[in-house]
Amino acid sequence: MGLEKIIDKKNNDLSKKIDKQRVPEHVAIIMDGNGRWATKKGLPRSFGHNKGVSTLKEILKASKRLGCKVLTVYAFSTENWTRPRKEVNFLINLFSDVLQNEINGIHEESTKIKFIGDLSPFPETLKKIISSSESLTKKNNEFLFNVCVNYGGRQEIVKVARKLALKSFSGEIKPSEVDEELFNSELLTQGIKDPELLIRTSGEKRLSNFLLWQLAYSEIYISDLLWPDFNEYEFLKAIVDYQSRNRRFGGIESLNNKSFEDSQHSS
C-alpha cells in the first residue's frame, strides 16, 4: 500500500498533509499496551505481544516508506525482568522466533538491524540469532532499525560515566576533556542522530527509562491507542502533529530571526 492510499475517515488524504521535506529522520517508539489490549479481550497477555509484532512490522514499513532513516523501538526494559517469569520467557522466545522469521525480509529491504542494551542475561540461542542478524545486515544503508532490549537509560549513562572515569584514571583522557561530544561517543547509540520524535502508545505519559540522554529535545507524541491497535494511519497522524510543532531549542522562534533589540524597538 502506497502513502497515497492513507485516507482518513473524512476521506482526507493524510499523506497530503505531510511535508516530505520535514519528515523526522529518527523516530523512537515506546510500544506500550500489549497486555491491556489482550486483557480487554479476555485473552492472555501473550496474545497482545503477538499482535504487537504485526503492528511493529507495519510501522517499520511505514516509517521507511515515509522517508525516515532510523526507527528505534523499546522492546524490553531493564525493569521488565520484574514481570512473572512466564511472561519474560514468552517474550524472549518471541524475540527469537520473530527475528528468525523476519531477518531475511529485513535484509532484502536493505535495512540494518541493531540491538541496543545489555544482551548478557539472554539465553545463548537468542544471542546467536541477534549476532547473526546484525552481521548479515551490517552493510545495509537504506534504513537503520534499532531494537532496545534489556535497555535502561540510566544504566547506559552510568556505564558511560564509569568508562570515562576509568579512562581518566588511567591517564588516557583528562577530566577536563569530558564534554557532551565525548559522552555521546560512548553511548550505545553512538553515531546515531538523536530522535526528533518520540511516540508512546497506551496513553501513558512517562519515559520509563527510555533513551534519557538522547530524548533531551525530542518532540513527544502520546497516542491513547494500545500498541496492537496502532497502525500506519495513526503513525502518519503523529508525523502531521510533529510537523505542526514549533521546535525552539531554548530560542525564541516567534521573533523570526529578528534580534531581541529589533523586537523591543518595534513593540
31 to 20, 111, 223, 246, 252: CA distances (angstroms):
25, 20, 10, 25, 33
Provide CB contacts within 8 A for 267, sequence distance 6+.
none
208 binds, among ligand IPE, Mg ion, none (CB under 5 to 8 A by kind): ligand IPE
Rounded to whole angstroms, how far apart are CA atoms 219 and 244?
11
Q: Are 116 and 149 in contact (CB under 8 A)?
A: yes
72 counts as binding ligand IPE under rule CB under 6 A: no
Least distance from C-beta 36 to ligand IPE, angstroms? 3
Q: Are 187 and 160 in contact (CB under 8 A)?
A: yes
**Which one of 75, 197, 199, 238 is in contact with ligand IPE (CB under 6 A)?**
75
Q: Are strands 219-222 and 197-200 parallel, antiparallel or unpaired?
A: parallel
**Which one of 18, 32, 152, 187 is in contact with ligand IPE (CB under 6 A)?**
32
31 counts as binding ligand IPE under rule CB under 6 A: yes
Nearest residue (CB) to ligand IPE, 76 versus 145: 76
| Active-site annotation holds for 80 | yes
223 counts as binding ligand IPE under rule CB under 6 A: no
Kindly state the number of chain residues that form the binding site for Mg ion, as judged by CB under 5 A: 1
The separation between the first and the last C-alpha atoms of the chain, rounded to the nearest angstrom, is 51
Nearest residue (CB) to Mg ion, 32 versus 234: 32
Rounded to whole angstroms, how far apart are CA atoms 107 and 139?
10
Taking CB atoms, the residue at the shortest distance from ligand IPE is: 35
Which residues, 28 to 57, sit near Mg ion by CB under 5 A? 32
Buried b (16+ CB within 10 A) or exposed e, 203-231: eeeeeebbbebbbeebbebbbebbbbbbb
Kindly state the number of chain residues that form the binding site for ligand IPE, as judged by CB under 6 A: 18
Site string for ligand IPE, 86-125 (x = CB under 6 A): -----x----------------------------------
Provide CB contacts within 8 A for 154, sequence distance 6+.
209, 212
Catalytic residues, which ones? 32, 80
The footprint of Mg ion (CB under 5 A) covers 32
The footprint of ligand IPE (CB under 6 A) covers 30-36, 74-77, 79-80, 91, 202, 204, 206, 208
